[in-house]
Amino acid sequence: EPVPASPWKGVYNATTFADDCLQYSYVTYNKDRPIYGSEDCLYVNVFTPMTTPTTRRTRLLEVLVFIHGGGFMFSKESVYGPQYLLDRDIVLVTISYRLGALGFLSTEDDILPGNNGMKDQVLALKWVKQNIPAFGGNPNIVTISGLSAGGASVHYHMLSPLSRGLFTKAISSSGSALCPWTQVENAREKTMKIANYLGCPTDESFLMVECLQDRPASRIVGATRLFMPWLYNPSSPFSVVIEPPGPSAFISEQPIDIILQKKAQNVPYLIAINADEGLYPGGEILESPKLIEEIDTKWNEYLPFLLDYNYTAAEGQMDLISNEIREFYLGDSKVNDSKQAFIKMIGDRMFYAEIIRTAKLHAEYYNAPVYSYLFSYKRSRRENLFELSSIYDGNGHGNDVGYVLRTTNMSLEGNATDMTLSKRMIDYWITFMKGVSMPKRWPTVNENLPYFGFLEIQNPDKKYDIIRFETDYGNEQFWDSLNLNENIPDLHTSMEEELSYENLQILESNIRIKAETSADNHTEENHKN
């Protein structure tokens, strides 16, 4: 688990990014060198407006912490920059965390419980809480935000007891803790597979972990390919695991149970989705005739990995489920003839259905406001934050964040229309951060249940914003009908809570009856009771 860095004396040169965390990267910007990075990577980047020491003492600014995405597997720290935010009165903090096997390997016991990557994030948030006043930031007004796995991380921090009190608002873009790729299955089995691959014993957790610690970190990271049978899918073979209960556990209950038991942090929540989330990873598939042919002809073999239900389909039902998905989205068509439906299928499964469920559950079970927006603006250039597609013109996974933070994958400079929209997106985020009223026409999700109410941002001019109310935007009903073993509440826990509540009501009733009887008898003993 992470420990705080030792203090230093003198001036620290913090003008450049540190090394990226060691990772197995499969995205466009690093395909020629999939294993790269350093184990010395846990740094916090702080960006502040130009202020004097006097100004910092007299007015502390709101703080925005951003957590990068990458499926808990990859990241390039320098992708996200502060340039669009520098003229606003906020302090921006970006953080890094261990990735893939190095951040999320687990033996599912107290030897290696897992979630070290998430605990890295917690330590970074604690650092912000303790030190951000020195940079002009207000430790009591901290909004955590994130994209994709970062958006899911934000949601996990709302659910984790370790993160309680470290932030006051939350923004998740293109990810939540209920998405199918955010929680690892068979964690111990995967650790044993890596250990066996690297010549380590697998019978006892202690000996297995001790041996793995002696192996080069790059070889452990390189073993990632063992868990990606097709292309780079499943895209997140290592992610959050449910730990054994204990004081250092990041999360020890299923996210759905924490939400339903009202144990999550009750903070204002902004949840964002993009119009064509399924372009990641669908865009790359549609670019390649070879990959299109593979998924078309080996649908039942590859789809469970692409859509991440290879562990959660009921035994003997995998092919049936795969066929039902094809019939629902494509019918009798081939993938090449149904590009839009193919992208929608990926988007619904990997993002929309569970992100929308997250928004509605928090709106139903908590009283803090929940807002949501759909970012559907199509740029004049076919650029997306995660994928470039010359075939399908859409608004891809996480694109909205590219209008708030400057990214190397999406260039807005030189395009007045894009920059106008960027200023408005930043206005929306900062308005939410500061806790002032959102635009009057923007409804909360809370006030429109059971509908999913959200703002659609489709044009730089806000007069074209649309208020929408949907009942099944992500085809949630279809995905629920497949009965995958995911996000199923613990009925035993729910029943215990219900019985406890009923018993409490009975106890209160008995107390009232006894008190009334005592009052009638006017005895000193009953009065004391």
Residues annotated as catalytic are 148, 277, 397
Residue pair 219/237 in contact (Cβ under 8 Å)? The answer is no
Residue 168's closest CA among 123, 117, 129, 120?
A: 129
Q: Is the dihedral of CA 338, 398, 487, 185 positive or negative?
A: positive
Helix, coil or strand: residue 476:
helix
- Cα–Cα distance, 515 to 518 (Å, whole number): 5
Q: What SS3 string covers 25-57? A: CCCHHHCCCCEECECCCCCEEEECCCCCHHHHH
Cβ partners under 8 Å of residue 234, min gap 6: 181, 227, 228, 305, 306, 308, 310
- For the CA atoms of the chain, what is the radius of gyration? 25
How big is the chain, counted in residues?
529
Would strands 44-47 and 23-24 be described as parallel, antiparallel, or unpaired?
Answer: unpaired
Q: Could you tell me what percentage of the chain is helix, strand and coil, using 3-state DSSP and rounding each to the nearest 5? A: 45, 15, 40
Give CA torsion, residues 386, 390, 394, 399, to 10 deg: 20
Helix (H) or strand (E) holding 371: strand 370-375
- Cα–Cα distance, 526 to 506 (Å, whole number): 20
Terminal-to-terminal C-alpha distance of the chain: 50
- Cα–Cα distance, 303 to 325 (Å, whole number): 9
Q: Is the peptide bond before 450 cis (omega within 30 degrees of 0)?
A: yes
DSSP letter (8 states) at residue 20: P
CB atoms within 10 A of CB 215: 16
Burial of 94 (0-12, 13-18, 19+ CB in 10 A): buried
Burial of 81 (0-12, 13-18, 19+ CB in 10 A): middle
Q: Which two tokens mark 329?
A: 């989205």
Q: Is the dihedral of CA 488, 501, 161, 140 positive or negative?
A: positive
- Cα–Cα distance, 71 to 75 (Å, whole number): 9
